[in-house]
Amino acid sequence: MASLREIRRKIKSVKSTQQITKAMKMVAAARMRRAQTAILSSRPFAVKMDAAIRDLALMEVAADLKAGREVQIHPFFDPRGDEKPALVLITADKGLCGAFNANLIRASIDWLRRHDGKPVSVAAVGKKGRDFLHRFRSGPQILTELVGIFPKVAYVHAELLGKTVIDAYLDGRVSRVSVIYNEFKSVATQKVVETQLLPIPVPTGDHERAGEGFSFEPGREKLLEALLPRYVKAQLYRFLLESQAAELAARMSAMDAASKNAGDLIEGLTLRLNRQRQAIITREIAELVGGAEALAS
């Protein structure tokens, strides 16, 4: 049986841990509000960019069909095989965020197993993903590493990541690029998402009416060529922001649960301390009464 001193020491240790978890929860909550604001600010741009790319691609499809040519929009739209797959894995830089990183790593393991035997390339974002990939037995080729960027993600990080991915795709080093990240749904819900970044699916729609009422200078092709790299980088920026908000939400929930568990543990230890003190006092009283009775007799 633990002594009173040991129980008091345990209570003090758990209270110190509880203070840390509460502080981490407050910090994560404050940062998450800023992350949510960043997501809401970036979504209108992403929606408009997606609509512009879709409209321009439809115009290219319509022009090729009218001219009787084979549809060729841009290399970013060219269907390619899956011989040289690439993965952009977005994880956190730190732990203490529940199953956030574990779920992402589990999804990446499934992706790597599906492409076993192929020359796989990976772009690692976040220390947890980078460390996992360096330990992975098959040893995929690392295109680039971005660590220490959370929770202060900026568009420059998406530009650096996008440039590496685009160069590898255009050079033929990779034939398909997928992204695995955590999508922010709510404070209590984060969803692991696997999506294809490149090649971009050819849009479908009304080709006949595409481009009505529009004229382009210097030309539609040049505009599309200038917008597509920005489109890819904008998508990556959105994925980074989603992952950042999801990580902070997961950390806030994990620290809240840890604080509650610490409170329950403190309550149990305090009850145990009081019972043991009561037992000691009762035993001492019984010894005193017994000694008094022995003297009286």
Confidence (pLDDT) at 96: 87
Residues ≥6 apart with Cβ < 8 Å to 90:
104, 125, 126, 129, 179, 180, 181, 182, 239, 240, 243
Q: Tell me the Cα Rg of the chain.
A: 29
What are the φ and ψ backbone dihedral angles of 76, each rounded to 5 degrees? -65, -20
Three-state DSSP state, 261: helix
Residues ≥6 apart with Cβ < 8 Å to 202:
57, 61, 71, 73, 77, 79
pLDDT tens figures, 14-72:
889 989 998 998 988 888 888 888 888 887 888 888 888 888 888 877 776 676 676 67
The pair of three-digit structure tokens given for residue 5, joined into one six-digit string = 């001193």
Domain ranges across the chain: 4-23+254-296, 27-253
* Chunked mean pLDDT (size 10), the chain, 297 residues: 81 90 89 85 82 81 70 80 91 90 93 89 93 78 90 91 94 93 85 92 68 67 85 92 92 90 90 85 78 71
Give the neighbor-by-neighbor strand order of the sheet with 141-146.
141-146, 121-125, 85-90, 176-184, 190-198
Decide: 60 and 220 in contact? Cβ < 8 Å. Answer: yes
Residue with tokens 């040893």: 139
Confidence (pLDDT) at 5: 85
Confidence (pLDDT) at 32: 85
Confidence (pLDDT) at 50: 83
Active site residues: 97
The pair of three-digit structure tokens given for residue 85, joined into one six-digit string = 């797959």
Closest CA to 173 of 118, 223, 106: 118
CATH topology of domain 4-23+254-296: Helix Hairpins (1.10.287)
The pair of three-digit structure tokens given for residue 19, joined into one six-digit string = 């203070």
Distance CA 250, CA 234 (A): 24
Residue with tokens 């633990």: 2
Confidence (pLDDT) at 48: 83
Confidence (pLDDT) at 123: 94
Considering the domain 27-253 in this protein, what is its CATH number? 3.40.1380.10
Q: Alpha helix locations (H) across the chain?
A: 4-66, 100-114, 127-135, 155-170, 220-296
Whole-structure pTM value: 0.85
Distance CA 183, CA 130 (A): 19
Residue with tokens 């499934």: 110
Closest CA to 109 of 84, 142, 83, 133: 133
Confidence (pLDDT) at 205: 66
Confidence (pLDDT) at 226: 85
DSSP 117-149: TS--EEEEESHHHHHHHHH-TT--EEEEEE-S-
